[in-house]
Protein backbone atom coordinates (compact mmCIF):
# COMPACT_ATOMS: atom_id res chain seq x y z
CA UNK A 1 0.00 0.00 0.00
CA UNK A 2 1.32 3.47 -0.85
CA UNK A 3 0.23 7.06 -0.34
CA UNK A 4 1.78 8.14 -3.63
CA UNK A 5 -0.64 9.89 -6.02
CA UNK A 6 -1.67 7.74 -8.99
CA UNK A 7 -0.28 8.11 -12.49
CA UNK A 8 -2.22 10.69 -14.48
CA UNK A 9 -2.39 8.67 -17.71
CA UNK A 10 -3.12 5.05 -18.48
CA UNK A 11 -0.11 3.10 -19.75
CA UNK A 12 -1.81 2.61 -23.12
CA UNK A 13 -2.49 6.32 -23.63
CA UNK A 14 1.00 7.32 -22.53
CA UNK A 15 2.69 4.74 -24.75
CA UNK A 16 0.58 5.56 -27.81
CA UNK A 17 1.26 9.30 -27.61
CA UNK A 18 4.96 8.84 -26.90
CA UNK A 19 5.53 6.35 -29.71
CA UNK A 20 3.48 8.41 -32.20
CA UNK A 21 5.75 11.34 -31.37
CA UNK A 22 8.88 9.18 -31.58
CA UNK A 23 7.99 7.74 -34.98
CA UNK A 24 8.06 11.26 -36.43
CA UNK A 25 10.52 13.17 -34.26
CA UNK A 26 12.74 10.60 -32.53
CA UNK A 27 16.36 9.74 -33.21
CA UNK A 28 16.54 6.63 -35.41
CA UNK A 29 20.07 6.56 -36.82
CA UNK A 30 22.49 6.85 -33.92
CA UNK A 31 25.64 4.73 -34.37
CA UNK A 32 24.75 2.30 -31.57
CA UNK A 33 21.32 1.72 -33.13
CA UNK A 34 23.04 -0.06 -36.01
CA UNK A 35 24.14 -3.63 -35.43
CA UNK A 36 22.47 -3.37 -32.02
CA UNK A 37 24.45 -5.89 -29.93
CA UNK A 38 24.62 -5.93 -26.12
CA UNK A 39 28.28 -4.89 -26.37
CA UNK A 40 27.65 -1.85 -28.53
CA UNK A 41 24.61 -0.80 -26.51
CA UNK A 42 26.55 -1.22 -23.28
CA UNK A 43 29.46 0.96 -24.43
CA UNK A 44 27.06 3.66 -25.64
CA UNK A 45 25.07 3.63 -22.40
CA UNK A 46 28.18 4.04 -20.28
CA UNK A 47 29.48 6.86 -22.49
CA UNK A 48 26.08 8.59 -22.40
CA UNK A 49 26.05 8.81 -18.63
CA UNK A 50 26.30 12.53 -17.87
CA UNK A 51 27.38 13.23 -21.46
CA UNK A 52 25.47 14.53 -24.50
CA UNK A 53 24.88 12.44 -27.61
CA UNK A 54 26.74 14.85 -29.89
CA UNK A 55 29.82 14.57 -27.70
CA UNK A 56 29.64 10.79 -27.45
CA UNK A 57 29.25 9.92 -31.15
CA UNK A 58 32.88 10.44 -32.27
CA UNK A 59 34.21 8.75 -29.11
CA UNK A 60 31.91 5.78 -29.66
CA UNK A 61 32.96 5.38 -33.27
CA UNK A 62 36.67 5.52 -32.46
CA UNK A 63 36.13 3.08 -29.61
CA UNK A 64 34.31 0.59 -31.85
CA UNK A 65 37.03 0.81 -34.47
CA UNK A 66 39.71 -0.08 -31.94
CA UNK A 67 37.64 -2.45 -29.76
CA UNK A 68 35.02 -4.06 -32.02
CA UNK A 69 34.00 -6.64 -29.40
CA UNK A 70 34.23 -7.30 -25.68
CA UNK A 71 37.17 -9.69 -26.12
CA UNK A 72 39.25 -6.97 -27.76
CA UNK A 73 38.41 -4.54 -24.97
CA UNK A 74 39.17 -7.08 -22.23
CA UNK A 75 42.56 -7.86 -23.78
CA UNK A 76 43.61 -4.20 -23.98
CA UNK A 77 45.78 -2.33 -21.52
CA UNK A 78 43.99 0.18 -19.32
CA UNK A 79 46.25 2.92 -20.68
CA UNK A 80 44.92 2.45 -24.19
CA UNK A 81 41.30 2.38 -22.98
CA UNK A 82 41.77 5.61 -21.03
CA UNK A 83 43.58 7.17 -23.98
CA UNK A 84 40.44 6.72 -26.09
CA UNK A 85 38.37 8.04 -23.16
CA UNK A 86 40.44 11.21 -22.74
CA UNK A 87 38.13 14.24 -22.94
CA UNK A 88 34.91 12.40 -22.04
CA UNK A 89 35.41 13.04 -18.33
CA UNK A 90 34.25 10.99 -15.36
CA UNK A 91 37.11 8.58 -15.97
CA UNK A 92 35.84 6.00 -13.48
CA UNK A 93 33.41 5.08 -16.28
CA UNK A 94 36.30 4.12 -18.53
CA UNK A 95 38.05 2.13 -15.81
CA UNK A 96 34.81 0.31 -14.93
CA UNK A 97 34.12 -0.38 -18.61
CA UNK A 98 37.47 -2.12 -18.85
CA UNK A 99 36.88 -4.07 -15.62
CA UNK A 100 33.39 -5.14 -16.73
CA UNK A 101 34.72 -6.36 -20.09
CA UNK A 102 37.18 -8.61 -18.29
CA UNK A 103 34.42 -9.93 -16.01
CA UNK A 104 32.18 -10.68 -19.00
CA UNK A 105 34.98 -12.59 -20.73
CA UNK A 106 36.23 -14.40 -17.63
CA UNK A 107 32.93 -15.23 -15.94
CA UNK A 108 30.33 -15.20 -18.75
CA UNK A 109 32.29 -16.56 -21.70
CA UNK A 110 32.20 -13.22 -23.51
CA UNK A 111 28.37 -13.08 -23.55
CA UNK A 112 26.64 -10.33 -21.61
CA UNK A 113 24.16 -11.77 -19.07
CA UNK A 114 21.20 -9.91 -20.59
CA UNK A 115 18.87 -12.66 -19.41
CA UNK A 116 19.07 -11.22 -15.89
CA UNK A 117 18.69 -7.65 -14.67
CA UNK A 118 20.48 -8.56 -11.46
CA UNK A 119 23.42 -10.13 -13.27
CA UNK A 120 23.79 -7.11 -15.55
CA UNK A 121 23.55 -4.68 -12.64
CA UNK A 122 26.30 -6.57 -10.81
CA UNK A 123 28.89 -5.72 -13.47
CA UNK A 124 31.26 -2.84 -12.62
CA UNK A 125 29.82 0.56 -13.50
CA UNK A 126 26.31 -0.71 -14.30
CA UNK A 127 23.35 0.22 -12.08
CA UNK A 128 19.68 -0.69 -12.24
CA UNK A 129 18.71 1.83 -14.92
CA UNK A 130 21.72 1.20 -17.16
CA UNK A 131 21.15 -2.57 -16.90
CA UNK A 132 17.53 -2.05 -17.92
CA UNK A 133 18.52 0.12 -20.87
CA UNK A 134 21.06 -2.44 -22.13
CA UNK A 135 18.56 -5.29 -21.88
CA UNK A 136 15.72 -3.33 -23.48
CA UNK A 137 17.80 -1.82 -26.27
CA UNK A 138 19.73 -4.96 -27.19
CA UNK A 139 17.06 -7.67 -26.77
CA UNK A 140 13.69 -5.90 -26.98
CA UNK A 141 12.66 -7.51 -23.70
CA UNK A 142 10.70 -5.41 -21.23
CA UNK A 143 13.03 -3.63 -18.83
CA UNK A 144 12.44 -0.37 -16.99
CA UNK A 145 14.82 2.59 -17.20
CA UNK A 146 15.15 5.72 -15.08
CA UNK A 147 18.02 7.82 -16.34
CA UNK A 148 18.21 11.59 -15.94
CA UNK A 149 16.04 12.29 -18.97
CA UNK A 150 13.30 9.91 -17.83
CA UNK A 151 13.38 11.34 -14.32
CA UNK A 152 12.90 14.85 -15.72
CA UNK A 153 9.94 13.84 -17.91
CA UNK A 154 8.16 11.96 -15.14
CA UNK A 155 8.92 14.55 -12.48
CA UNK A 156 7.46 17.37 -14.56
CA UNK A 157 4.50 15.38 -15.84
CA UNK A 158 3.46 14.52 -12.26
CA UNK A 159 4.96 17.55 -10.48
CA UNK A 160 6.84 15.21 -8.16
CA UNK A 161 8.17 17.23 -5.25
CA UNK A 162 11.66 16.76 -3.86
CA UNK A 163 15.11 16.11 -5.21
CA UNK A 164 15.09 12.86 -7.27
CA UNK A 165 18.22 11.70 -5.47
CA UNK A 166 16.23 11.26 -2.27
CA UNK A 167 15.28 7.58 -1.81
CA UNK A 168 11.53 8.29 -1.33
CA UNK A 169 11.38 10.45 -4.47
CA UNK A 170 13.36 7.94 -6.50
CA UNK A 171 11.04 5.12 -5.39
CA UNK A 172 8.07 7.18 -6.59
CA UNK A 173 9.72 7.71 -9.97
CA UNK A 174 10.53 4.01 -10.36
CA UNK A 175 6.85 3.25 -9.67
CA UNK A 176 5.81 5.65 -12.44
CA UNK A 177 8.44 4.29 -14.84
CA UNK A 178 7.20 0.75 -14.16
CA UNK A 179 3.59 1.86 -14.71
CA UNK A 180 4.26 3.31 -18.16
CA UNK A 181 6.78 0.83 -19.61
CA UNK A 182 5.17 -1.44 -22.24
CA UNK A 183 5.80 -5.07 -23.13
CA UNK A 184 5.85 -4.30 -26.87
CA UNK A 185 8.11 -1.95 -28.84
CA UNK A 186 10.37 -1.68 -25.82
CA UNK A 187 13.40 -0.65 -27.89
CA UNK A 188 11.50 2.28 -29.38
CA UNK A 189 9.85 3.16 -26.07
CA UNK A 190 13.09 3.42 -24.09
CA UNK A 191 14.74 5.45 -26.86
CA UNK A 192 11.65 7.66 -27.07
CA UNK A 193 11.75 8.43 -23.36
CA UNK A 194 15.41 9.40 -23.59
CA UNK A 195 14.79 11.45 -26.74
CA UNK A 196 11.83 13.30 -25.23
CA UNK A 197 13.90 14.34 -22.24
CA UNK A 198 16.94 15.27 -24.33
CA UNK A 199 15.21 17.21 -27.12
CA UNK A 200 11.97 18.67 -25.70
CA UNK A 201 11.80 18.26 -21.93
CA UNK A 202 15.20 19.87 -21.53
CA UNK A 203 16.60 21.15 -18.28
CA UNK A 204 16.68 24.88 -18.85
CA UNK A 205 14.30 25.62 -21.70
CA UNK A 206 11.70 22.90 -22.22
CA UNK A 207 9.83 23.05 -25.55
CA UNK A 208 6.38 22.40 -24.06
CA UNK A 209 4.47 23.46 -27.17
CA UNK A 210 5.72 20.41 -29.08
CA UNK A 211 5.41 17.91 -26.22
CA UNK A 212 2.84 15.12 -26.64
CA UNK A 213 1.93 15.53 -22.95
CA UNK A 214 1.51 19.32 -22.85
CA UNK A 215 -2.15 19.18 -21.83
CA UNK A 216 -1.56 16.73 -18.95
CA UNK A 217 1.77 17.97 -17.59
CA UNK A 218 1.19 19.31 -14.09
CA UNK A 219 4.40 21.34 -14.03
CA UNK A 220 3.39 23.03 -17.31
CA UNK A 221 -0.14 23.62 -16.05
CA UNK A 222 1.31 25.49 -13.06
CA UNK A 223 3.88 27.34 -15.15
CA UNK A 224 6.58 25.74 -13.02
CA UNK A 225 8.47 23.64 -15.56
CA UNK A 226 11.82 24.96 -14.38
CA UNK A 227 11.11 24.11 -10.76
CA UNK A 228 10.97 20.42 -11.59
CA UNK A 229 12.88 18.32 -10.99
CA UNK A 230 14.14 19.99 -7.84
CA UNK A 231 17.88 20.47 -7.73
CA UNK A 232 20.17 18.86 -5.26
CA UNK A 233 20.76 21.21 -2.32
CA UNK A 234 23.80 23.19 -3.36
CA UNK A 235 26.95 23.65 -1.41
CA UNK A 236 29.63 26.16 -2.27
CA UNK A 237 32.37 24.42 -4.26
CA UNK A 238 35.63 24.42 -2.32
CA UNK A 239 38.76 25.53 -4.14
CA UNK A 240 42.06 23.69 -4.13
CA UNK A 241 45.39 24.74 -5.57
CA UNK A 242 48.11 22.67 -7.20
CA UNK A 243 51.40 23.25 -8.97
CA UNK A 244 51.94 21.08 -12.05
CA UNK A 245 55.57 20.48 -12.95
CA UNK A 246 56.33 20.73 -16.67
CA UNK A 247 59.77 19.14 -16.53
CA UNK A 248 61.45 18.84 -19.94
CA UNK A 249 64.76 17.28 -20.91
CA UNK A 250 67.06 18.46 -23.69
CA UNK A 251 65.07 16.45 -26.25
CA UNK A 252 61.88 18.28 -25.32
CA UNK A 253 60.29 15.29 -23.63
CA UNK A 254 58.05 15.92 -20.61
CA UNK A 255 58.04 13.85 -17.43
CA UNK A 256 54.64 12.30 -16.58
CA UNK A 257 53.41 10.42 -13.53
CA UNK A 258 50.60 7.85 -13.49
CA UNK A 259 47.86 8.67 -11.00
CA UNK A 260 46.73 6.03 -8.47
CA UNK A 261 44.04 3.69 -9.82
CA UNK A 262 41.34 5.33 -7.69
CA UNK A 263 40.61 8.94 -6.89
CA UNK A 264 41.15 12.05 -8.99
CA UNK A 265 42.04 11.14 -12.60
CA UNK A 266 42.50 7.54 -11.45
CA UNK A 267 44.85 5.57 -13.71
CA UNK A 268 45.52 8.54 -16.00
CA UNK A 269 48.88 10.09 -16.71
CA UNK A 270 49.43 13.57 -15.32
CA UNK A 271 52.18 16.03 -14.60
CA UNK A 272 53.79 15.73 -11.15
CA UNK A 273 51.72 17.80 -8.72
CA UNK A 274 52.75 19.69 -5.60
CA UNK A 275 51.03 21.75 -2.93
CA UNK A 276 53.56 24.58 -3.10
CA UNK A 277 56.90 25.66 -4.56
CA UNK A 278 59.02 24.49 -1.61
CA UNK A 279 57.61 20.97 -1.97
CA UNK A 280 58.37 21.03 -5.69
CA UNK A 281 61.91 22.27 -5.10
CA UNK A 282 62.52 19.56 -2.51
CA UNK A 283 61.33 16.91 -4.99
CA UNK A 284 63.56 18.32 -7.73
CA UNK A 285 66.58 18.40 -5.40
CA UNK A 286 66.05 14.69 -4.74
CA UNK A 287 65.02 13.42 -8.18
CA UNK A 288 66.31 15.99 -10.67
CA UNK A 289 69.30 17.84 -9.18
CA UNK A 290 70.40 20.70 -11.34
CA UNK A 291 66.92 21.32 -12.78
CA UNK A 292 66.27 24.97 -13.63
CA UNK A 293 62.88 26.56 -13.07
CA UNK A 294 61.46 29.04 -15.58
CA UNK A 295 58.75 31.60 -14.93
CA UNK A 296 55.44 30.00 -13.92
CA UNK A 297 52.58 30.16 -16.41
CA UNK A 298 49.33 31.82 -15.53
CA UNK A 299 47.00 29.92 -13.20
CA UNK A 300 43.85 28.44 -14.72
CA UNK A 301 40.83 26.70 -13.20
CA UNK A 302 39.49 23.21 -13.86
CA UNK A 303 36.06 22.54 -12.35
CA UNK A 304 34.98 19.15 -11.06
CA UNK A 305 31.52 18.26 -9.77
CA UNK A 306 32.63 18.67 -6.16
CA UNK A 307 35.48 21.20 -6.18
CA UNK A 308 37.43 23.72 -8.24
CA UNK A 309 41.08 23.07 -8.94
CA UNK A 310 43.35 26.05 -9.57
CA UNK A 311 46.32 24.81 -11.59
CA UNK A 312 49.59 26.69 -11.95
CA UNK A 313 51.92 25.15 -14.57
CA UNK A 314 55.56 25.45 -13.52
CA UNK A 315 58.01 24.78 -16.38
CA UNK A 316 61.48 23.47 -15.61
CA UNK A 317 64.41 22.09 -17.58
CA UNK A 318 66.78 19.24 -16.76
CA UNK A 319 69.77 18.02 -18.74
CA UNK A 320 69.26 14.39 -17.83
CA UNK A 321 67.36 12.27 -15.37
CA UNK A 322 68.75 8.80 -14.76
CA UNK A 323 66.03 7.08 -12.72
CA UNK A 324 62.43 8.09 -13.23
CA UNK A 325 60.66 5.21 -11.43
CA UNK A 326 58.04 2.70 -12.53
CA UNK A 327 55.11 5.11 -12.31
CA UNK A 328 56.79 7.77 -14.44
CA UNK A 329 57.63 8.07 -18.12
CA UNK A 330 58.98 10.55 -20.65
CA UNK A 331 56.38 11.87 -23.08
CA UNK A 332 57.23 13.33 -26.49
CA UNK A 333 54.62 16.01 -27.37
CA UNK A 334 55.51 15.72 -31.07
CA UNK A 335 55.03 11.94 -31.11
CA UNK A 336 52.46 11.28 -28.39
CA UNK A 337 51.95 7.78 -27.02
CA UNK A 338 48.46 6.25 -26.78
CA UNK A 339 47.96 6.79 -23.07
CA UNK A 340 45.14 8.23 -21.02
CA UNK A 341 45.75 11.86 -20.10
CA UNK A 342 43.92 14.11 -17.69
CA UNK A 343 42.13 16.77 -19.79
CA UNK A 344 44.05 19.84 -18.55
CA UNK A 345 47.34 17.96 -18.88
CA UNK A 346 46.50 17.03 -22.47
CA UNK A 347 45.93 20.72 -23.21
CA UNK A 348 49.21 21.75 -21.62
CA UNK A 349 51.17 19.10 -23.55
CA UNK A 350 49.57 20.11 -26.84
CA UNK A 351 50.70 23.69 -26.18
CA UNK A 352 54.33 22.50 -26.17
CA UNK A 353 54.43 21.89 -29.93
CA UNK A 354 56.99 23.00 -31.06
CA UNK A 355 59.16 22.46 -27.98
CA UNK A 356 59.15 25.50 -25.73
CA UNK A 357 59.01 26.30 -22.06
CA UNK A 358 57.60 29.74 -22.73
CA UNK A 359 53.98 30.25 -21.84
CA UNK A 360 51.88 29.68 -24.97
CA UNK A 361 50.51 32.77 -26.68
CA UNK A 362 47.16 33.71 -25.24
CA UNK A 363 47.57 31.38 -22.25
CA UNK A 364 45.23 32.82 -19.65
CA UNK A 365 42.94 31.85 -16.83
CA UNK A 366 40.22 29.52 -18.01
CA UNK A 367 37.48 27.33 -16.63
CA UNK A 368 36.72 23.80 -17.80
CA UNK A 369 34.12 21.44 -16.39
CA UNK A 370 34.34 17.68 -16.35
CA UNK A 371 31.32 16.62 -18.24
CA UNK A 372 23.76 15.15 -20.42
CA UNK A 373 22.41 13.24 -23.13
> Comparing C-alpha atoms, which of 134, 145, 137 is closest to residue 193?
145
What is the Cα–Cα distance from 323 to 317, expressed in whole angstroms?
16
Cis peptide upstream of residue 104 (ω within 30 degrees of 0): no
Q: Using an 8 Å Cβ cutoff, are 266 and 259 in contact?
A: yes
Name 317's bridge partners.
248, 292
What is the Cα–Cα distance from 150 to 71, expressed in whole angstroms?
32
Establish whether 326 is a catalytic residue: no
Name 292's bridge partners.
317
Treating both helix axes as pointing N-terminal to C-terminal, what angle do 186-199 and 11-25 enclose, rounded to 10 degrees?
70
Given 12, 45, 80, 107, which residue is catalytic?
A: 45
Residues acting as catalytic residues? 45
Amino acid sequence: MTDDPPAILSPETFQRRLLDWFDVHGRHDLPWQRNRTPYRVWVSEIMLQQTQVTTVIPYFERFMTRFPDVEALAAADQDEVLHLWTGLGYYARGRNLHKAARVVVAEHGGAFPVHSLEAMASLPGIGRSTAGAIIAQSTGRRAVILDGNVKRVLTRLHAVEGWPGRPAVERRLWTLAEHYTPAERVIDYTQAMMDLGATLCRRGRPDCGRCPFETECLAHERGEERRFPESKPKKALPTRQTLMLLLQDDAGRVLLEQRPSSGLWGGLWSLPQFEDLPAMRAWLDQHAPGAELDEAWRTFTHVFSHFRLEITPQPARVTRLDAIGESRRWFDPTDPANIGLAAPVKGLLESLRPFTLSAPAGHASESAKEPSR
